[in-house]
Amino acid sequence: MDISTIIGLSLAIVALVVGAGSEFTTLLDIPSFFITVLGSIGATFIAHPSSRSFKMFNIIIEALKNPKIDNLETLRTLYSFSEKARRDGMISLEEDLPSVQSEFLRDGLRAAVDGTDPEEIKKILEVKMDMYQETEEDKISVLDTWGAMAPAFGMIGTLIGLVLLLDTLSDPTTIGPRMSLALITTLYGALIANTIALPPAEKLKKRVDKNINQMRMMLEGILSIVQGENPHLMEEKLKAFLSEEERRAYEAEKGEAVL
């Protein structure tokens, strides 16, 4: 689980409860819930096909997970494969393919072992990257849509509350409930957008960027191996894909001077 997401959600809930104090139950309103929450979910379903919209909450749960993206291990693996290919030939990597965890890296190495032209390997892997990015962005767009629809339905609820308020303005006993409906729907819309929908979407976008960076690193490594580059040259090229923290950790591990 991604601890930062858990902590963030917990802090948001605590802030709401503590901020409202003993009047917290006043914020619980069934009509406002139906207008804002169910209304915005319905609009999101309209905007996206069922193959994506029905998985909306699964996408949010996915943001709670914390898959490991280990660029250092990827660099170590590519370096060892480069050394082995130069020493024993490209075909020698075939026995290592079943142990490769990444499907992207495994497919690239399989094409390399089969003698596929480097340009063709590059095209194949770039298509895979594009398809992965497009698929993930389509999923994330569901949360972006919900994040846009929730405040809109909060405003719709506000307008409904005001219309009902004006319609019964002659009865003072209705002013409080109608005004409450008008304001709480706006609150619900803002909470959904800024707590449940948009933050997980932003986290998933950053995760996709990290995965794409790792895929580009794998692609560059595979092409270097196919072209028979010196493993140390390949290693220096792949370091460019590491973050500053990762580069320092890798160089410390290798016993190199860190500039």
- pLDDT exceeds 70 at position 61: yes
Length in residues, the chain: 259
* Helix or strand (DSSP H, E) at 216: helix 198-226
- pLDDT exceeds 90 at position 253: no
- DSSP per residue, 125-155: HHHHHHHHHHHHHHHHHHHHHHHHHHHHHHH
Q: Give the tens place of pLDDT for each residue, 183-220.
A: 888 989 999 999 999 999 999 999 999 999 999 999 99
CA dist 41 and 49 (Å) reads: 13
215-247 burial: b if 16+ Cβ within 10 Å, else e: bbbbbbbbbbbbeebebeebbeebeebbeeeeb
- pLDDT exceeds 60 at position 259: no
Average pLDDT over residues 240-244: 92
Which of 171, 169, 155, 140 is CA-nearest to residue 48?
A: 140
Q: Give the tens place of pLDDT for each residue, 112-143.
A: 999 999 999 999 999 999 999 999 999 999 99
pLDDT band at 258 (very low <50, low <70, confident <90, very high): very low
- Can you give the pLDDT at residue 256? 57
- pLDDT exceeds 70 at position 257: no
